[in-house]
Amino acid sequence: MPSTGGTTGRQRGGCTAQRLLDPLSPAILKDYRMILYYARDYDGAIEWAKKSHELDPTFASVHRLLSLGYQGKEMFAEAETENELWAKRAGKDVEGLVALAHCYAAAGRRDEAVTLLRRVKSQEHSDGNVRRGIALVHAALDERDEAFAWLGKALEQRAVSLCNLKVDPKVDRLRGDSRIIPLLSALGLAT
């Protein structure tokens, strides 16, 4: 199993304490679900996402996490459905296209992923998080040079989502590449 890059029982324990203080908080439950996802506990992430959905069916990010969990389990049809629900409910059109492109790439649907990627890239994006997403689609397509180029662009934009680079399973394909080390160092995440 790939390294979780530092996701430990301590982080899970901290979130457990928060859940005890406010067991109905969608934000706290979202954090807990993400910790499970980063630890590659996809079943746990899916289970908690479903519990969160029961508590608040309007909380759009539940669908994003379900999509990620299903991708981790290689349940791509379910991942695509949840991704589309997330994008629609959260109003995340561009992010939804990038996430769907990643889903297609992870499922081996290269042509569909590349088509969506071209569509997204044809627009100007100043959002570093979109640039990070584009990078991760390239990583899923095993296009490492493009992936690192787009991660560099995301870094230039100070993308908030880069803070999870060390633990995100979508980055696993890039972990063996020496170019990841200076990137993590620039983010203050190197070991």
The model's pLDDT over 20-67, given as tens digits with 9 standing for 90+, comes to 555 556 666 777 889 999 999 999 999 989 988 888 888 888 999 999
Q: φ and ψ at 73, to 5 degrees? A: -90, 5
Evaluate the CA torsion angle 105, 128, 88, 65 in order and state its sign. positive
Q: Which residues of the chain have pLDDT under 50?
A: 1-8, 10-15, 17, 19
Whole-model pTM: value is 0.84
Task: Kindly tell me the number of DSSP H helices and DSSP E strands found in the chain.
Answer: 10, 0
Asked, for residue 36, whether it belongs to a domain, the answer is no
Query: What pLDDT sits at residue 27?
Result: 64
Residue 29 lies in a domain: no
Residue 30 included in any domain: no
Residue 182 lies in domain: 92-191
The domain tally of the chain equals 1
What whole-number percentage of the chain has pLDDT above 90? Answer: 65
The residue among 91, 29, 101 whose CA lies nearest residue 65 is 29
**Does the residue 132 lie in any domain?**
yes
pLDDT value of position 125:
74
- Tell me if 5 is assigned to some domain: no
145 part of a folded domain: yes
Residue 34 belongs to some domain of the structure = no
